[in-house]
Structure 1
Amino acid sequence: MDPKRKTMFKLVGVVVFMGAMAWAAVPAYNFFCKVTGFGGVTNTADAGSDTVLDKEVTIRFDASLNSGMPWEFKPVEREMKIRLGETGLAFYEAYNPTDRPVAGQASYNVTPYSAGGFFTKIECFCFTEQVLMPGERVDMPVTFYVDPDIATDMDGKYVHTITLSYTFYENDLPEGYAALADETDATGATSLN
């Protein structure tokens, strides 16, 4: 084979390989974070822990909004103490002070990062997109537990306080709500019929 053609095939192969690696990087990184708790990514479960220890941990709750998100958003309770393995229930309050429906999605993490792999959510408002109508105020629950295995983990056993943080970002409205928003813009009033 001609050396120029051979070089061209190698370069095309490198470009295709690098493109495939770039495409796979985000899902691979997300999988890595979910498995290891790296970066404060939490676990999910269908039910609470089977084991509850007498050791307590303090859970702090933090809330913020991405710039441009018009909601008001805060934890109802700033902190709580729970035993390792015990199921906790906390609420965050969101309020839409605007005259239009607003959709939002929450991103989350826990600190210290070493606790991420042990913090497990059973139910959370962050799993789905939230839509608030004009003037609507809601309490959004998160049900969770801290895996008792944290007590024997090399780094985790020194964790006494875990902070659960959420940031809400504005999303485009889903189709049905988008029509309502257009109607609101046109008339200046919202019809909830």
Structure 2
Amino acid sequence: MIQSLSPKARTAGLAGILALAMTGLGFAAVPLYDLFCRVTGFGGTTQRYDAAAAAAEPEILSQTISVRFDANVSPRLPWTFYPEHPTDTVSIGARDMAIFIAENNSAAPVVGTASFNVTPTQAGKYFTKIQCFCFTEQRLEPGQQVRMPVLFFVDPAIVDDPDARDVQEITLSYTFHPVDEGKKAS
């Protein structure tokens, strides 16, 4: 049937199919890139703890690593945001908790959401967050101050990775951004 079409019609049909395929790839690019980053730790993307998938708690090593906490706020968000303690030394494999403080400095309720990353980037796939304020939007009332915990651990597999085993300090960095108006807090 395709051979009975004129060359111009075949070319137009193939161009249409190609355009549809490229559109589909465009919509799939963001979720596929996100999946790639979560699997590989690319760009400092941390792992998210899945209790159902975890066979056992990680082994706690005698080795420690320094974790530095960095907090930033978009200029469009009227918040103050900072870690309660800027650094912590943790045993590799042990669960630990960091507290971040956020305060709404405006006279109106504001909803924010945090983006995050880990540096050095090769440590991202070994830094696992169990619970984090960054998993949901945060709504702060006027003048409200909140303490927001992050439960995490550094996977013991980091010591076996030739690219990451010499890492002495990991930086967990957050940036809070305003949520578009019209969206509701979770």
For residue 30 of structure 2, give the secondary structure of its aligned residue in structure 1: helix
Q: What is the distance in 1 between the residues matched to 2:150 and 2:184? A: 27
User: Which of the residues 150, 166, 171 maps onto 1:163?
Assistant: 171
Aligned twin of 2:79: 71
Instruction: Say whether the 8 Å CA contact 1:103–1:173 is kept in structure 2.
Output: no
Output the CA distance in 2 between the equivalents of 1:116 and 1:176.
28
Correspondence for 1:16:
20
Q: Counterpart amino acid of 1:124?
A: C
Given the alignment of the two structures, is residue 50 of structure 1 paired with residue 58 of structure 2, yes or no?
Answer: yes
Runs (5+) with no aligned partner, structure 2: none
**What SS does structure 2 have at the residue aligned with 1:95?**
strand
1:103 to 108, 111, 125: 111
Which amino acid in the other structure matches residue 12 of structure 1?
G
Q: Does the 8 Å CA contact 1:110/1:162 hold for their aligned counterparts?
A: yes
Aligned residues: 177
CA contact (8 A) 1:151 1:157 kept: yes
Q: Which amino acid aligns with 1:27?
A: P
Matched, 1:138 2:142: no
Question: 1: distance between equivalents of 2:38 and 2:76?
Answer: 29
Change (3 A) 1:6 1:176: closer
Letter of the 2:58 partner, please give it. Answer: D
Residue matched to 2:125: 117
Computed over aligned residues only, the root mean square deviation of the Cα atoms, in angstroms, reads: 1.6
Question: In 2, Cα distance between the equivalents of 1:49 and 1:97?
Answer: 40
Kindly indicate whether the alpha-carbon contact (under 8 Å) linking 1:102 and 1:173 is maintained by their aligned counterparts in 2: no
**Is the contact between residue 49 and residue 86 of structure 1 (CA under 8 Å) also seen in structure 2?**
no
Question: Is contact 2:137–2:185 with CA below 8 Å preserved after alignment?
Answer: no
SS at match of 2:125: coil
Deviation at 1:46, TM superposition (A): 4.2
Task: For residue 52 of structure 1, give the secondary structure of its aligned residue in structure 2.
Answer: coil
Deviations 1:116-139 (A, max 9, x none): 000000000001110000110111
Superimposed CA distance per residue, residues 138-176 of structure 1 (whole angstroms, 9 cap, x where no aligned partner) = 110000000000001111101110000000011136559
- The structure richer in helix per residue is 1
* C-alpha displacement of 1:60: 0.0
Counterpart Cα distance in 1 of 2:185 and 2:99: 27
CA contact (8 A) 2:117 2:174 kept: yes
What SS is found at the alignment partner of 2:99? strand
- 1:176–1:53 Cα change, 3 Å: closer
**SS state at 1:89 partner:** strand
Alpha-carbon distance in structure 2 between the residues aligned to 1:49 and 1:65: 34
Gapped regions of structure 1 (runs ≥ 5): 178-193
TM-score (norm: length of structure 1): 0.88
**C-alpha distance in 2, partners of 1:107/1:32?**
17
Q: Distance in 1 between matches of 2:98 and 2:91?
A: 15
